[in-house]
Structure 1
């Protein structure tokens, strides 16, 4: 199905274009495995291998470690395409790739330890520390204890970045800790109705020693003073604020899933479904024509908004983000998620009860979309309230600026 070509199609490097074509080629395979992966509650080894072989997991690694050193347009396009195969695959692929940007905040020595491992298979990252999680200073490092939720990618990654609240140098902050997955435990508790195959389980650390070079306080970690940024000050990947990554990439999953939902509706459901009691073929219904046309337009508009967010993020990294810039980008991203969810909801209600049988792709997309809309990046009500306040010149009203 035709969708907008606005954005990077004319601007990607040769390497970027080749990367996107490799990703596009595996989408049918991802789609064919999606039902089984949903039942298994995690991506299959075959899917993870295909993502790795296509260059997804290593796309943001420095070239000196065999990475692609690819940028934000490639990340958006990759996530958008993979999510047309499976929203869960798009979610996990994005996390395994994007958390390399988190690691690039650490020193070159740490990066060499992590990225130099030929078995590096991505990183998961979570700020969702459960109550009681804590960290304390010891000679040469820190002792970490706790549980972290929503650890997307933990079933496949080799490293994790977790943050935990702590009083550091007389101020309350968060400490960002880079830890090997082999040194933490995974609690297999991800039983959900949507995004089942993300396997976003809890991870646990017990009396885990983390050396000083793999721990940073939040103020340093998100600033130009982060060791990895100071060592590579001109690199846009290293300089990207980690709290802008979510608003940049997360809308790609619902956009890709909604794109696929419209395809299913047009190519599979409409040609075979008729209204009961003599209502005629669904394809000939003027109501359906309007719903499909409105959904198509809304999805096109959402995609264009999110492409503006990608470009705005790149410009912000280069030139700085004002508070109003961040409000604008956050609001556009949340609205893109919301509109994509509306599209899927509207066509699902026209698709008939048979689409809710086990294994039906549109049913899975609908459930995935409900969960995507409940992520903070899709909370359009909060985004409208908070960003509207900022855009009216009233500030954040207590919201932590670093997380905005």
Structure 2
């Protein structure tokens, strides 16, 4: 483990908010990061097979479940640990050092269990009442339709790239629902036994996430399986009447900004460490130079390490701040939220600084499939394509707000959207 991560995790653990949640079940257990570190050797040993099989190894999934990592962000009322979010993100970073795909799926699964705390209690009981280890994948883009019928909706659609769907029992999908004659984004929870999961995940990197498509045809979905997305953003979900800890008062935009950032950060550290290992005894044949002593290589390594340290501080710092603000009952204003989202959108770019400057040093040896560096590079390139890592999109939203312009952002509610969410929550949940 890098000294930087150890220092950052220690700082997070020592932060004033660390003991703010009296119901947390993690107080007498190893931290999430420590549990993740214990799993790294096995996950690293399976990483090449995960890439080849295009799905997380079942032993890795079982270890993540058994360790409690998948339940880190889950409501304690339903078997979760309600952990410090910075500790969970540090755990994802740790797993990312071993396998980007496994870290990606862990982060996704953890975030979904956090979101379920906002849904109606009847749904939480259905999902977690008998088995708190239930796993939920997602595909949030509104790619389906929902027709109102008695007791719920008739759902049709095809949702792409549902990471972790192979290991899950349910999935959250996005659908626009007509409310007062206008489309409003809703999240629907589908039982995966009732849909088709289609294998179309043939990609350059993050192959092991198994991010397949979900296809639903005339599927009845009960009313309590759906929630207005803006109601969740406004922290007005019906589940919060019971799940009232500060963890669930963190802005979803801050948390979900990490789903690509945390795995990318870990993979950047993995590349950095593996590259140093490979060059430690590497002598270039053409001139017999020791690569580990070349000034240019050392300077590139220095830049790579600095970029990772800086960005790790940014990501974990935002998690600390978001949790502390939630504990204090303080809300982000729109610009603060946009700044946090933008800052974390820069993570995969920062993690790529090292690989882009160092790949050429090892010439042809770095591109063979048996060399883990090429896999990490491909994984980072793919992570950069995630919507949360769109620097231009999130930077423009932030600067529009700073300039006093209207900003379009999925996670940032305008005054009109917030009022509509409040009205909707009052109508539905009282």
Normalised by the length of structure 1, the TM-score is: 0.93
Deviations 1:264-300 (A, max 9, x none): 1112x21232234215110111111111111111111
2:86 is the counterpart of 1:73: yes
Per mean C-alpha deviation after superposition, the further-off stretch among 310-319 and 283-292 is: 310-319
Q: Tell me, yes or no, if the aligned pair for 2:252 and 2:411 is still in contact at 8 Å.
A: no
Deviations 1:370-395 (A, max 9, x none): 01111122222333333223223323
Structural mapping, 1:42-191, within 5 Å: 42-118=55-131, 120-130=133-143, 133-191=144-202
Q: Tell me, yes or no, if the aligned pair for 1:57 and 1:96 is still in contact at 8 Å.
A: yes
Superposition deviation, residue 337 in structure 1: 2.4
2:380 is the counterpart of 1:374: no
Q: Tell me, yes or no, if the aligned pair for 1:20 and 1:77 is still in contact at 8 Å.
A: yes
Deviations 1:57-87 (A, max 9, x none): 2222233333222131122111101111101
Distance 1:33 1:387 in 2: 40
Aligned to 2:427: none
Q: Structure 2 residue aligned with 1:272, among 262, 277, 281? A: 281
Q: Structure 2 residue aligned with 1:217, among 201, 207, 228? A: 228
Distance 2:314 2:230 in 1: 30
Distance 2:34 2:183 in 1: 46
2:397 is the counterpart of 1:386: yes
Q: Structure 1 residue aligned with 2:321, among 306, 309, 312? A: 312
Q: Structure 2 residue aligned with 1:342, among 345, 353, 358? A: 353
Superposition deviation, residue 108 in structure 1: 1.6
Distance 2:84 2:31 in 1: 14
- Could you say what secondary structure the match of 1:144 adopts? strand
Q: Aligned in 2, Cα 1:381/1:37: closer, same or farther, shift over 3 Å?
A: same
- Could you say what secondary structure the match of 1:14 adopts? coil
Q: Structure 1 residue aligned with 2:338, among 312, 316, 327? A: 327
Structural mapping, 1:217-296, within 5 Å: 217-232=228-243, 234-267=244-277, 269-278=278-287, 280-296=289-305
Q: Which runs of 5+ in 2 are unaligned?
A: 19-25, 415-430
Q: Aligned in 2, Cα 1:210/1:231: closer, same or farther, shift over 3 Å?
A: same
Deviations 1:236-264 (A, max 9, x none): 23333433322134311111111111111
Q: Aligned in 2, Cα 1:10/1:220: closer, same or farther, shift over 3 Å?
A: closer
Q: Tell me, yes or no, if the aligned pair for 2:175 and 2:185 is still in contact at 8 Å.
A: yes
Deviations 1:3-33 (A, max 9, x none): 2413314345634644332221110110100
Superposition deviation, residue 115 in structure 1: 1.0
Superposition deviation, residue 235 in structure 1: 1.7
Q: Which runs of 5+ in 1 are unaligned?
A: none
Superposition deviation, residue 98 in structure 1: 1.3
Distance 1:319 1:62 in 2: 21
Q: Aligned in 2, Cα 1:30/1:401: closer, same or farther, shift over 3 Å?
A: closer
Aligned to 2:3: 2
Aligned to 1:206: 217
- Could you say what secondary structure the match of 1:128 adopts? strand
Q: Tell me, yes or no, if the aligned pair for 1:243 and 1:403 is still in contact at 8 Å.
A: no
Q: Tell me, yes or no, if the aligned pair for 1:147 and 1:204 is still in contact at 8 Å.
A: yes
Q: Tell me, yes or no, if the aligned pair for 1:168 and 1:217 is still in contact at 8 Å.
A: no
Distance 1:358 1:93 in 2: 25
Distance 1:15 1:86 in 2: 28
Q: Tell me, yes or no, if the aligned pair for 2:31 and 2:87 is still in contact at 8 Å.
A: no
Distance 2:253 2:413 in 1: 6
Aligned to 1:303: 312
Q: Aligned in 2, Cα 1:184/1:243: closer, same or farther, shift over 3 Å?
A: farther
Aligned to 2:363: 352
Q: Tell me, yes or no, if the aligned pair for 1:75 and 1:249 is still in contact at 8 Å.
A: no
Aligned to 1:21: 34
